[in-house]
């Protein structure tokens, strides 16, 4: 039998976060769902079969992240897994990016995760165990969408932070794991919610439902695998891309 875990899911009011919280609750885990939209968040917690608690917070504000850690510990007694899922796309080609564009995309996609990792880490160190899951993107592996230029860069940054946090903590606290999950196109409101608008994600080909991605993430909670893709063949695509990019010119 899989031990019950206490899992904090950020960006949980819709999309991948909401679907993951519900999938984890179905597996018997306790879930702290975190986002800015109180009504949507309460609805998600209500679908978590009595195992969900909602915490309204803005994860781009460090003080809010600190508060969520404290409130989750008060509510559940411990945190076993912290999932950084806050993210937002941006539609602007690199030659047109402004300072506000770059600052905004980094604040949402990088700083929210950095704050989460830094603020929960003392609790994990005290316990000698813990698990952080960062939700990245295939665009953080293969920067293939020119209008998503800054988003690609932000997810590359998140990937690097995940890897270097893992390396740092393995030296002193090997019971703390950092996992990276890389979905491709997911049929959510991601496109509609992008800065400067964007294509409807549900209209894009070769996508996945949020529920399918959520099942992969729920598996990562149990396996603690360090680097996971949500679609078969994605790892090979990444390897093939860098094999071509790394080829010396004739």
Q: In sequence order, which residues have a C-beta less than 8 Å from that of residue 32 and are 6 or more positions away?
A: 6, 7, 8, 9, 52, 53, 54, 55, 68, 72, 75, 76, 79
Residue 250 maps to a domain: no
Query: Is there a catalytic annotation at residue 115?
Result: no
The range of the structural domain enclosing residue 46 comes to 6-245
Report the percentage of the chain scoring pLDDT > 70.
Answer: 97
- Do 231 and 221 form a contact (C-beta atoms < 8 A)? no
82-136 pLDDT, tens digit per residue, is: 999 999 999 999 999 999 999 999 999 999 999 999 999 999 999 999 999 999 9
Residue 1 maps to a domain: no
Check residues 168 and 244 and name the one with the higher pLDDT.
168
DSSP string for residues in 8-46: EEES-SSHHHHHHHHHHHHTT-EEEEEES-HHHHHHHHH
The per-residue pLDDT for 63 is: 98
Q: Over 70: is that where the pLDDT of 249 sits?
A: no
Tell me the average pLDDT across 71-77: 98
Measured between alpha carbons, how far is 248 from 116 in angstroms, rounded to an integer? 40
The per-residue pLDDT for 46 is: 96
Tell me the average pLDDT across 3-12: 95
Catalytic, out of 151, 229, 241, 242: 151
186-212 pLDDT, tens digit per residue, is: 988 888 889 998 877 777 777 899 999
Domain count, the chain: 1
48-64 pLDDT, tens digit per residue, is: 999 999 999 999 999 99
The per-residue pLDDT for 191 is: 82
Q: In sequence order, which residues have a C-beta less than 8 Å from that of residue 124 and are 6 or more positions away?
A: 79, 130, 132, 173, 176
Residue 25 maps to a domain: yes
Considering Cα of 46, then 47, then 49, then 54, what sign does the dihedral take? Answer: negative
Task: Write the CATH number for 143.
Answer: 3.40.50.720
Residue 184 maps to a domain: yes
The per-residue pLDDT for 246 is: 63
Check residues 187 and 27 and name the one with the higher pLDDT.
27
pTM of the complete model: 0.94
């Amino acid at each position: 039998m899989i031990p019950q875990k206490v899992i904090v899911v950020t960006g949980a009011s819709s999309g991948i976060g909401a679907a993951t919280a519900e999938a984890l609750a179905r597996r018997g885990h306790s879930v702290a769902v975190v986002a800015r939209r109180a009504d949507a968040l309460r609805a998600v917690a209500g679908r978590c079969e009595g195992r969900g608690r909602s915490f309204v917070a803005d994860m781009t504000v460090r003080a809010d992240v600190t508060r969520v850690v404290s409130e989750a510990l008060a509510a559940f007694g411990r945190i076993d897994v912290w999932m950084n899922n806050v993210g937002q796309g941006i539609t602007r080609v690199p030659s047109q990016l402004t300072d506000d564009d770059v600052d905004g995309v980094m604040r949402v996609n990088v700083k929210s995760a950095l704050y989460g990792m830094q603020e929960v880490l003392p609790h994990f160190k005290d316990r000698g165990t813990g698990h952080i899951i960062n939700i990245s993107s295939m665009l953080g592996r293969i920067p293939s969408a020119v209008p998503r230029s800054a988003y690609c860069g932000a997810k590359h940054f998140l990937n690097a932070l995940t890897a270097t946090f893992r390396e740092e903590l393995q030296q002193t606290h090997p019971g703390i794991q950092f996992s990276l999950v890389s979905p491709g196109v997911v049929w959510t409101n991601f496109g509609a919610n992008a800065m400067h608008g964007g294509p409807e994600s549900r209209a894009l080909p070769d996508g996945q439902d949020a529920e399918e991605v959520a099942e992969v993430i729920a598996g990562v909670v149990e396996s603690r695998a360090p680097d996971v893709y949500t679609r078969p063949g994605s790892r090979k695509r990444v390897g093939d891309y860098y094999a071509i990019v790394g080829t010396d010119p004739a």
